[in-house]
Homo-oligomer: A and B are copies of this chain.
Amino acid sequence: MTIEDVPTTATSPTWIERGGTPAAPGNSRLRPLGLREVTLRDGFWRQRQQTNRAKSFAHIEYWLEKAGWLGNFSAPPEQRRGREFSDTEVYKFLEALAWEYGRTRDPELARRHRAIVARVIVAQQPDGYLNTNFGRPGQQPRYSDLEWGHELYSYGHLIQAGVAAARTFGEDELVAAAVRAADHVCDVFGPGGIVSVCGHAEIEPALAELYRVTGNRRYLEQARLFIQRRGHRTLADIEFGRGYFQDDVPVREAGSLRGHAVRAVYLAAGAVDVAVETGDTELLGAVARQWRHAVARRTYITGGIGSRHQDEAFGDDFVLPPDRAYSETCAGVGSIMLAWRLLLAQGDPRYADLIERVLFNVIATSPADDGTRFFYANTLHQRVLGAEPSADTQVPRAASTLRASWFEVSCCPTNLARTFASLAAYVATADDDGVQIHQYTPAGIATTLPDGREIGLEIETQYPADGRITIRITTTPDTPWTLSLRVPDWAAGATLDGLAITRGLVQTRRRFTAGEALVLELPVRPRFVAADDRIDSVRGQAALVRGPVVYCLESVDVPRGVDFDALRLDPNAEPVDRDGSVVAAFRSVDFTPHDWPYQPLAAAADAGPPMRIPLRPYHRWARRGPSTMRVWMPLSSER
């Protein structure tokens, strides 16, 4: 079967022409735009997208060869290298190449893509099975370790790569391989087959997306089965409990996202896909409810998720220690996947609020400026000076306190690569009556509504450095249509063309004129923020946020002779913008040395003389060498 053989269900069959997009529901409130419908212009995100292409791609290819993970596909079983899921890094890189091609049409990318695909598909068995870690002589049998084997997870990324290829290159060898793999999965795990799920979700959104590409309902039905089975304790119990892989409670009954954070958001993304395609409003509502719970009680101020190193997991409500924050980069990627799907399905701007937080404070934080080193985890409080791993070294995943080149579990470089390559997709959407702008970054948008009306826009802004956003209409029909703009949750006091607007969505429906512009003013000013009082670990502390960007205090900015740990923020002194930093007022306390750190409760010690210290965007931290760092700053008792 090829993708031409079957009808598509997508609202538009022209994804190739439109540059592809990473999630294309056939039935949703908002319609995603293609990577050629939104073009990033010079600015914060385009710079990162270019570094991704110019530097990270080569870095990833180098490491996939060096670590042997690409070679595994043709190596004999006894020479296989890497962890059980290493195949997926190759697939995620293929996905990144596809999106980058979709957006640029650079034939060099197609050549690299084809070359890697050719090396991968030789490992596919006649029955569609493809995994370098199982089933060959000397290896564990296929599907003998569903808890930890990651076989279906691997197919998930293979299929996602196939979907990306189908939407950008069109039918190719990879698409065919993905279809063969999906058919194999349906054969083996479908009705009458193995009644179980994979320890790591990912096959679920992948199969749903493959259904969207091929129109073959078998894949959707299999995704639905996997979602339905999850939570019925078919997987073995483990030390972390079945909640680790969300097999403790059925998806539609759970109260919150929980367990391993990446698994949780990938699964929830798949559940949204299935809910949307099958019209299962109960399931969609359940996931939305879990998302709201997790955002309100289990999410860091950076938008990061996962507060436990032990199992890379969500903690209980309000357990969000900054100094042991895990906030895995890949959980940020997955969190965007999930929030994006919910946004398309429901249109609620709070989903885009979260995407913005994650983009500016997790996705932008992980990679080094040169795109060849990465934070695996994103702590909010670094207590000791980290050590920079040497450049050409593979390190354990989260052991490094500074950005590292490559990891034994190296999921973040490729996950970032596919995210940066497809970043334009998250800027805006369309519906029958107009365009919705969700993220503010310099960009050109050109799309056609289902009724054929063409709309062109330019977003002109220095955001997030500045809050002025000009939306210039470049192409418009002469009939009325609606332009929707997100007003972030933090943006109390925003204006549109000088008029006060409320937070949420501001919708302008009228006849527009080509050349006219709307000016949205978001109050991008430094502001101190406190946490819900149940987050014990940051009680008596404040963070500084400016627009969507979380700031931090780094020891390299602290005057010599001042004890970093003794600094106390004076929240009554107005923080002041200065050259990309924000200067805040601090005092320094003296610590009484004690043999025992628990002493009779006494009035807080007076703080010392005031001093002014710059705070920097959190995403810039540790870019000037090792430093200690705090997002949450203890408040002076002088306040």
Partner-B contacts on A (CB < 8 A): 238-241, 292, 295-297, 299, 301, 308-310, 315-319, 321-324, 350, 353, 381, 383-384, 396-397, 399, 408, 489, 527-543, 545, 565, 571, 589, 591, 593-602, 632, 634
B contact residues around A634 at 8 Å (CB): 533, 536, 539
- Other than the given A296-B594, A321-B321, A321-B537, 9 more pairs (CB < 8 A) read A309-B309, A381-B536, A489-B595, A529-B600, A530-B598, A534-B591, A536-B537, A543-B598, A545-B598
**Sample of 5 A–B contacts (CB below 8 Å):** A295-B596, A530-B598, A530-B600, A532-B597, A536-B634
User: How far is A545 from B536 in the complex, measured between Cα atoms in Å?
Assistant: 20
User: How far is A535 from B42 in the complex, measured between Cα atoms in Å?
Assistant: 44
B contact residues around A545 at 8 Å (CB): 598
A528 touches B565 (CB 8 A): no
B contact residues around A489 at 8 Å (CB): 595-596
B532 touches A591 (CB 8 A): yes
Q: Which of B310, B397, B530, B533 contacts A309 (CB 8 A)?
A: B310
CB-nearest residue of chain B relative to A536? B537
User: How far is A238 from B539 in the complex, measured between Cα atoms in Å?
Assistant: 35
B contact residues around A565 at 8 Å (CB): 318, 534
B contact residues around A319 at 8 Å (CB): 323-324, 383
CB-nearest residue of chain B relative to A543? B598
CB-nearest residue of chain B relative to A397? B239
B contact residues around A601 at 8 Å (CB): 528-530, 542, 571
> Distance (Å) between the CB of A584 and the closest chain B CB?
12
CB-nearest residue of chain B relative to A539? B540
User: How far is A283 from B299 in the complex, measured between Cα atoms in Å?
Assistant: 46
> Distance (Å) between the CB of A82 and the closest chain B CB?
15
User: How far is A296 from B593 in the complex, measured between Cα atoms in Å?
Assistant: 9
CB-nearest residue of chain B relative to A320? B597
> Distance (Å) between the CB of A288 and the closest chain B CB?
12
Q: Which of B295, B315, B533, B596 contacts A589 (CB 8 A)?
A: B533
A384 touches B316 (CB 8 A): yes
A323 touches B595 (CB 8 A): no
A530 touches B310 (CB 8 A): no
> Distance (Å) between the CB of A270 and the closest chain B CB?
24
B529 touches A323 (CB 8 A): no
> Distance (Å) between the CB of A168 and the closest chain B CB?
35
User: How far is A325 from B146 in the complex, measured between Cα atoms in Å?
Assistant: 31
A321 touches B322 (CB 8 A): no
Q: Which of B408, B536, B593, B602 contacts A632 (CB 8 A)?
A: B536
B contact residues around A594 at 8 Å (CB): 296, 532
- Among A292, A309, A353, residue most surrounded by chain B Cβ atoms (within 10 Å): A309
B318 touches A383 (CB 8 A): yes
> Distance (Å) between the CB of A565 and the closest chain B CB?
5
User: How far is A452 from B269 in the complex, measured between Cα atoms in Å?
Assistant: 80
B contact residues around A309 at 8 Å (CB): 308-310
CB-nearest residue of chain B relative to A592? B532
A533 touches B591 (CB 8 A): yes
CB-nearest residue of chain B relative to A489? B596
B contact residues around A322 at 8 Å (CB): 536
B contact residues around A532 at 8 Å (CB): 591, 594, 597-599
